[in-house]
Structure 1
Amino acid sequence: MATTLVPPVEDGRTRSSIPSPRLPKAKQRKRKKTVADWVILGAAIAFGVLVALPFLLILVNSFKSPQDYTNGGPLSLPTAIYLDGIVAFWERVDFPAKLWNSFVISGVVALAAVVISVLNAYALGIGRVRGRTWIIILFLLANMLPQEALLYPLYFMFKQVGLYDNIWAVIIIFTVIQSAFGTYLLSSVYGTFPKEVLEAASLDGASRWQILWRVIVPISRPTLSVLAIFFFIWTWNEFLIPLTFLVSNSNQTVPVAITALQGDRLMDVTTTSASALLGLIPTLVFFLIFQRTLTRGITAGAVK
């Protein structure tokens, strides 16, 4: 049997014993950016600038005096830090009371809407009630109704029961509206829930309530957290229904209080910008606090 000799190299080792050079993993994975990558990056940066521009204008004009605004316009920088607009809005509308009203309404709506959505979706998505598809379509259509079409019937109803000009009227309305969307979303999620897990829990002696609160809710906690965050922010930013049902100054929310600075023929732009900044800060802080929860909840369904 013929054998093939491998010629030795200068240091006495055969060529087969010399390890082939390998590039570091970082260099192996590194890829040159193409023209398309730079175009996408530039478009993303331009879009980010367009989104941030209104917020920057609000921030700049909030600390600008009316004289600076008149002389330089909305795009100029303030010559000095002017805080009278923030102080004037804070004292004029009693901002701490408005902040508390918005926080109570948004917080109660977020929690109540999530609980009702879970109960409805458990019956529709896992319980498989009759007419499930039509009920889900009904929830979807109810969520698509414009708020203007609901104002008069809701006004008449809450006027009759004595809840007009009461924050509980707004809480009940938004709880129903938000839970309609939550029911539609969670019904689709629970409809694909693994049956093996439910059967295993039933064999272990768990009741329907135990299956819901000890199996389904812990597994779907990321989705429920995202719903609660969205419900809170959506309710906080609502304007039309709080304006209609909360006529007393002591019951109004932050978005409604901002309109107190707008007159028929005259509007203080710098004070209005300061009020918009004060109304934006709570939702921004809330979003930053729960940013990690929101990111985990959104990406939870993308990875098995």
Structure 2
Amino acid sequence: MMAKLRRTPVLLALCIGAVFMILPFLIVALNAIKSPAEYSANGPLSLPKGLYLDGLKDFWQRVDYGQKLFNSVLISGSVAILAVGLSVLNAYAIGVGRIKGRTWFLAFFVLANMLPQEALVYPVYYLCKEAGIYDTRLSVIIVFTVIQAAFGTYLLSSVLGQFPPAIIEAARIDGANSWQILWRVIVPVSRPTLGVLMVFFFIWTWNEFLLPLVMLISNDNQTVSVALGVLQGQRLMDATMTNAAALLGVLPAIVFFLVFQRTLTRGIAVGAVK
């Protein structure tokens, strides 16, 4: 009984926090299906009297949302997979292989992760221009793979550094080489952590705006976040279309999060147990 009473304030605080997190999304969703006249007359907090979908349709057609959605999913998914793979290889060399200068390598990755993107704009722009990949989705995939892998390497290095040496030694005695130890021993055990990283990398890349804005100037290559910013800057949207754009911009990331929430929960639980 006493344990339940102690948990009550925590559960109450979590419920209040959930309401504050969900409420803005619900307001945006309600205003997205509200006509401009109804929005002007009753304000943003009123309930819609009908289902008005012209704002969603107009935004979809105006920005070619299907193409932008494909670009965002392609870029974010590719970065999530490639960054996790690169992080595993780097962390295996640093955390398990114990390469010389391990501390300096970790300091380098921490510094790379702390650099503001504003400092990277011109060097990345210049390099992509010289390499002939400017204004391509490949350029953004490469840049964000490196950026996200810097964080992933730092995190996984500490995780793999605590990996039980007895398991690795047993695999070596059984005749496993370094690649087999990595892919058949370490990766399966670390799968929950890798799943969490993949979810984070996807969502972080989906929300990126500055570098895609600079690197993707063609309409056919732009992501959802860039399309939202460009259209809003042109002042071509009323309040209903603005809310419709916000809803369509965030909805795919929410769906992705809900689909992989079990992976995220499992990874966090495993980390807590460890």
TM-score (norm. length: structure 1): 0.86
Matches within 5 A, 1:101-140: 101-140=71-110
Question: Match of 1:302, SS?
Answer: helix
Matched, 1:179 2:149: yes
Asked whether the equivalents of residues 122 and 212 of structure 1 are also in contact (C-alpha less than 8 Å), the reply is yes
Deviates most, 135-144 or 281-290? 281-290
Describe the SS at the equivalent of 2:120. Answer: helix
Name which of 247, 265, 283 aligns with 2:217: 247
185-194 or 261-270: bigger deviation: 261-270
**CA distance in structure 1 between the aligned counterparts of 2:186 and 2:165, rounded to whole angstroms:** 11
1:195 corresponding residue in structure 2: 165
Q: Distance in 1 between matches of 2:8 and 2:269?
A: 26
Corresponding residue of 1:18: none
Deviation at 1:248, TM superposition (A): 0.5
Q: Distance in 2 between matches of 1:94 and 1:247?
A: 15
Could you list the runs of 5+ residues in structure 2 that have no partner in the other structure? none
1:303 aligns with 2:273: yes
Distance 1:191 1:91 in 2: 51
Paired residue for 1:63?
Answer: 33
Distance 2:78 2:35 in 1: 38
**Aligned mates of 2:11, 2:270 — CA distance in 1:** 26
Contact 1:226 1:298 (C-alpha < 8 Å) held by counterparts: yes
Contact 1:261 1:272 in 2 (8 A): no
Pairing 1:276–2:246 present: yes
Residue 291 in structure 1 maps to residue 267 in structure 2 = no
Distance 1:225 1:100 in 2: 22
Q: Distance in 2 between matches of 1:212 and 1:265?
A: 52
Deviates more, 1:157-166 or 1:174-183: 157-166
Match of 1:6 in 2: none
The equivalent residue for 1:82 is 52
Matched, 1:220 2:200: no
| Residues 86-136 of structure 1: CA deviation (Å, up to 9, x unaligned) | 000010111110010001101111111011100000000011111101110
**Are the equivalent residues in 2 in contact too, given 1:63–1:83 (CA < 8 A)?**
yes
Output the aligned Cα RMSD. Answer: 1.6
| Amino acid in structure 1 at the alignment position of 2:126 | F
Higher Cα radius of gyration: 1
Q: Which runs of 4+ in 1 moved over 3 A?
A: 30-34, 36-42, 263-267
Which of residues 167, 174, 177 in structure 1 aligns to 2:137? 167
Aligned to 1:7: none
The one-letter code of the counterpart of 1:152 is Y
- Higher relative contact order (Cα pairs below 8 Å, separated by 6+ residues): 2
2:19 aligns to what? Answer: 49
Distance 2:185 2:85 in 1: 15
Please identify which structure carries the higher helix content.
2
Gaps of 5+ in 1: 1-29
The separation in 2 between residues aligned to 1:266 and 1:134, in whole angstroms, is 50
Change (3 A) 1:241 1:191: same
The separation in 2 between residues aligned to 1:229 and 1:53, in whole angstroms, is: 23
Is 175-184 or 209-218 further displaced after alignment? 209-218
Offset at 1:32?
7.1
